[in-house]
Amino acid sequence: MQPPHLWGFSSPCNLITVWGNLLIVLAVATDPHLHTPMYFFLSNLSMVDICFVSTTIPKMLANIQTQSRTIMYEGCLAQMYCALLFAGVDDILLTVMAYDRFVAICHPLHYPVIMNTRLCVLLVLGCWITSVLNSLLHSLMVLHLSFCPDSTIPHFFCELDHMVQLACSDAFVNKLLIYLDAGLMGGGPLAGILYSYSKIVSSIRRIPSAQGKSKAFSTCASHLSIVSLFYCTVLGVYLSSAATHSSQSISVASVMYTVVTPMLNPFIYSLRNKDIKGALKRFSGLGVLKAVWPWDILTPQRPQYFPQLA
């Protein structure tokens, strides 16, 4: 189900991913300076990344360590559902973050009114509800398929596409649904991101000073890096699976978007962002953590549209 050499790579990456994203969540929750919509969405993205890697990597590492590559049918369905769920939330949340940057740069005076607490919470809830329904639909469709005994998944986790290909019964409807879903859940958010950034670029070009342009673009640099990394690695997985039938090549390509991308997200947002670095320093000096409710992250205050970057 997975190449043994992935142990040496995925094990430390999984630890770094969990701790890195957890630090981002705790820093945003405990620092009042980061109680703005942008960092609220970032903390949600970090939580989703933690859940995503926790769905796939621990089982893979356990299989490699025990030299057992088996997984129960129920466990496989649960893993497939969770992987679809968290990947879908990740995808849509990136679009929400692009919309946040669009409002901040194109309509800065109306930003506090548009990106209010209620809208931010509704946007995050919308991401979860849409992804839950989408994952549930695919999982219910897979339940109607029958599988041959001793089936082998050419992957390190139960992915929808590979599950459908292993079916012994007719899976035409499932494959059609996968293609439709790729257009809606993949193409839709990507189109929203591209539209938002087309408007952002147009607004930045109208800024008279070079310093103002650089400051405005710097607020989008981290998000653009994550979007590029996410979509490039996902495309790389599916292009590699279409070009080759080698299970090892597919597994290595899949590690890029299931392990590497979530691991790099906290580094991308923290290394050049003085707000996050300052929050992490203050957080590391706290003796006792203060409990903060999720909606407290969005305390009413004028957001910092253009955070200072190093």
What does pTM read for this prediction? Answer: 0.83
Residue 243 vs residues 152, 249, 302: alpha-carbon distances, Å:
20, 10, 50
- Binned at pLDDT 50, 70 and 90, residue 297 comes out as very low
Would you say 95 and 126 are in contact if contact means Cβ atoms under 8 Å apart?
no
Indicate whether 307 pLDDT > 50: no
In a domain, 306, yes or no: no
For residue 273, what are the β-bridge partners?
Answer: 309
Indicate whether 223 pLDDT > 50: yes
Dmax over Cα atoms in the chain, in whole Å? 67
Which residue from 92, 295, 104, 298 is spatially nearest to 215, judged by alpha carbons? 104
- Binned at pLDDT 50, 70 and 90, residue 281 comes out as confident
In a domain, 257, yes or no: yes
Residue 201 is part of a domain; what is its CATH number?
1.20.1070.10
Domain that holds residue 172: 6-298
Q: Could you count the other beta carbons within 10 Å of the beta carbon of residue 107?
A: 14
For residue 167, what are the β-bridge partners?
Answer: 147
- Binned at pLDDT 50, 70 and 90, residue 251 comes out as low
What mean pLDDT is predicted for residues 230-237?
76
Question: Given phi > 0 = left and psi -120 to 50 = alpha, else beta, which region is 8?
Answer: alpha
Q: Backbone phi, then psi, for 69, in 5-degree steps?
A: -115, 25
User: How would you label 8-37 residue by residue, b for 16+ Cβ within 10 Å and e otherwise?
Assistant: eebbebbebbbebbebbbbbbbbbebbbbb
In a domain, 305, yes or no: no
In a domain, 157, yes or no: yes
Calpha distance 228→226 (Å, rounded): 5
- Binned at pLDDT 50, 70 and 90, residue 102 comes out as very high
What mean pLDDT is predicted for residues 238-261?
64
In a domain, 309, yes or no: no
Residue 213 vs residues 107, 220, 228: alpha-carbon distances, Å:
15, 11, 21
Domain total in the chain: 1
Burial degree of 112 (CB within 10 A; 0-12, 13-18, 19+): middle
Give percent of the chain with pLDDT exceeding 90. Answer: 34
In a domain, 163, yes or no: yes
In a domain, 115, yes or no: yes
Q: Could you count the other beta carbons within 10 Å of the beta carbon of residue 168?
A: 11
In a domain, 225, yes or no: yes
End-to-end CA distance of the chain: 43
Least reliable range by pLDDT among 117-126, 141-150, 268-277: 268-277
Amino acid 238: pLDDT:
64
Q: What is the pLDDT of residues 162-186, one digit of tens each?
A: 888 888 888 899 989 988 988 898 8
Would you say 257 and 237 are in contact if contact means Cβ atoms under 8 Å apart?
yes
